[in-house]
Amino acid sequence: MENLQVDALVVGGGIAGMQAALDLADQGFKVVLVEREPSIGGKMITLSKVFPTLDCCSCITTPKMSSVAHHPNIQLLTYCELQSVTEAAEGFRVGVMQKPRYVDASKCTGCRNCEYECPITVPSPFDRGLGAYRAIRVPFSTAVPQAAVLDMENCILCGKCEKICAANAVDFTQQPETFDIHAATLIMASGFELTPLNAKKEYGGGALRNVIDPLMMERFLAPTGPYGRVLRPGDGKEPTSIAYVQCAGSRDTTLGVEYCSRVCCMYAIKQAMLISGALPLAEITIYYMDIRTFGKGYEQFYQNAQAMGVEFVRGKVASIREDAEQNPVVKVELTEESRTVERTHDLVVLSLGMLPATGSNEILGLPLGTDKFIAVPAPNASPCATAQPGVFVAGTAMGPMDIVDSIVTASAAAAAASAYIREHQKEAVYA
């Protein structure tokens, strides 16, 4: 068991957690960043390009990941689960369990020889299961730390990886490691989960292979994606007609999700533009109820998409079925024309919304809002303060928001946390 004493513990290594950690560390505070996955980067690192600037996503994310890894005031704990959080004198005691990577991350050079040697291929969650990696692998090309991780569930213990590793980093006998961390303040940046693809049965997600989720499309559009191009996952066809179903999982009382997920309009429009670039002949239709392009520069982005020929159809999608050629057939009520039509597409993207991530929120036992995201009792006074003094929230852990808003709330949470440390901790570790 390792004991750590820090000013702040940040839960979650996505964009919000990284930004909050960096802002605190830049002020001289000692920070531990705890991430559940083997690499930091969160959902953002899986995206292709980001709206409205169409910057390539890794150009924005990877340098932040690198800054976190190199910052002298940040200690990074990846592949870790929160075990317990208790109030303690002047702060919190947090129990963290680091899962075994079966690779000594301090020795691993990220050469990936083990990955090429490994005989077992498994679906990669980084590619939403549509791409693959090996039972031992570096999680993705720009992962931080750049170290392999072995998935014991799919390992035959053949020992090939251990043999080929020049750094002698593979260790099949690694055990979980626990950390006892004393932190003056906590920042919850535990993020979101995408609405499950099969949440709304009428839409056929999960059953119909060519009805996909938007993060799959992000991977198809990314240069490191599973196919290296946009293909539909059912049979590898290059789609010429692609449809987006907006509010699939948001603003839907039947799913118990009454709220708007804020990003779906913009990501659908962005993907439509990127697809137009990748497949100039493709026809793209967006079925929507209200277009919500409310951010800075977003309305212009929407107008540009209209000018590019993306078809916006105001309508409510009732159901999606499949024809004999695996083509999704969308039944849509055209709300401006009082009629229902069926339209056949090659590929349908369900513009799924955001649900709160589970796991660490429960460990803390923080009060949640009716939307199940972490409650912020006084949004118009302390927009990042949770119901628990000393615990702050950043990014999508407090509700759906886009990257810009996540980054701003992360900096705001860092400001609130640093003020709290100075006011409640007689001697900050930073001294």
345-358: burial string, b at 16+ Cβ within 10 Å, e else: bbbbbbbbbbbbbe
Question: In whole angstroms, what is the distance from residue 151 CA to residue 136 CA?
Answer: 6
Binding-site residue total for other proteins (CB under 8 A)?
A: 119
**Which is nearer to other proteins, 228 or 309 (by Cβ)?**
228
Instruction: Please give the backbone phi and psi of residue 248, each rounded to the nearest 5 degrees, phi first.
Output: -85, 85
Residue in this structure with the two tokens 């303060």, named with its chain if needed: 385
At closest approach, how far in Å is the CB of 210 from other proteins?
9
At closest approach, how far in Å is the CB of 290 from other proteins?
4
Binding of residue 267 to other proteins (CB under 8 A): no
At closest approach, how far in Å is the CB of 375 from other proteins?
10
Omega prior to 145 cis, within 30 of 0: yes
**Which is nearer to other proteins, 214 or 399 (by Cβ)?**
399
Binding of residue 236 to other proteins (CB under 8 A): yes
Q: Which string of x and - marks every residue 318-357 that binds other proteins (by CB under 8 A)?
A: --------x--------xxxx-------------------
Binding of residue 8 to other proteins (CB under 8 A): no
Binding of residue 106 to other proteins (CB under 8 A): no
**Which is nearer to other proteins, 85 or 317 (by Cβ)?**
317
Among residues 93, 99, 107, 237, the one that binds other proteins under rule CB under 8 A: 237
Binding of residue 2 to other proteins (CB under 8 A): no
Q: What angle do CA 407, 409, 413 make, to 5 degrees?
A: 115
Question: In whole angstroms, what is the distance from residue 117 CA to residue 133 CA?
Answer: 12
At residue 413, the 3 state secondary structure works out as helix
**Which is nearer to other proteins, 85 or 135 (by Cβ)?**
135
For residue 408, how many C-alpha atoms fall within 13 Å in the half-sphere facing its CB?
A: 6
Q: Which string of x and - marks every residue 27-56 that binds other proteins (by CB under 8 A)?
A: xx---------------------x-xx-xx
At closest approach, how far in Å is the CB of 338 from other proteins?
5
Binding of residue 172 to other proteins (CB under 8 A): yes
Binding of residue 415 to other proteins (CB under 8 A): yes
Question: In whole angstroms, what is the distance from residue 269 CA to residue 96 CA?
Answer: 40
Question: In whole angstroms, what is the distance from residue 42 CA to residue 26 CA?
Answer: 21
For residue 189, how many C-alpha atoms fall within 13 Å in the half-sphere facing its CB?
A: 37
Candidates 89-97, 315-323, 351-359, 403-411; binding stretch for other proteins (CB under 8 A): 403-411
**What 3 state SS string does 41-93 have?**
CCCHHHCCEECCCCEEHHHHHHHHHHHHHHCCCEEEECCEEEEEEEEECCEEE
DSSP symbol at 301: H
Question: In whole angstroms, what is the distance from residue 411 CA to residue 304 CA?
Answer: 31
Candidates 88-96, 198-206, 292-300, 315-323; binding stretch for other proteins (CB under 8 A): 292-300
**Which is nearer to other proteins, 359 or 379 (by Cβ)?**
379
| Residues within window 118-137 making contact with other proteins, judged by CB under 8 A | 119-123, 130-135
Question: In whole angstroms, what is the distance from residue 190 CA to residue 358 CA?
Answer: 8
Candidates 2-10, 74-82, 220-228, 350-358; binding stretch for other proteins (CB under 8 A): 220-228
**Which is nearer to other proteins, 146 or 319 (by Cβ)?**
146
Q: Yes or no: say if 48 and 222 are a contact pair by the CB < 8 Å rule.
A: yes
Binding of residue 262 to other proteins (CB under 8 A): yes
At closest approach, how far in Å is the CB of 428 from other proteins?
11
Among residues 2, 5, 63, 125, the one that binds other proteins under rule CB under 8 A: 63
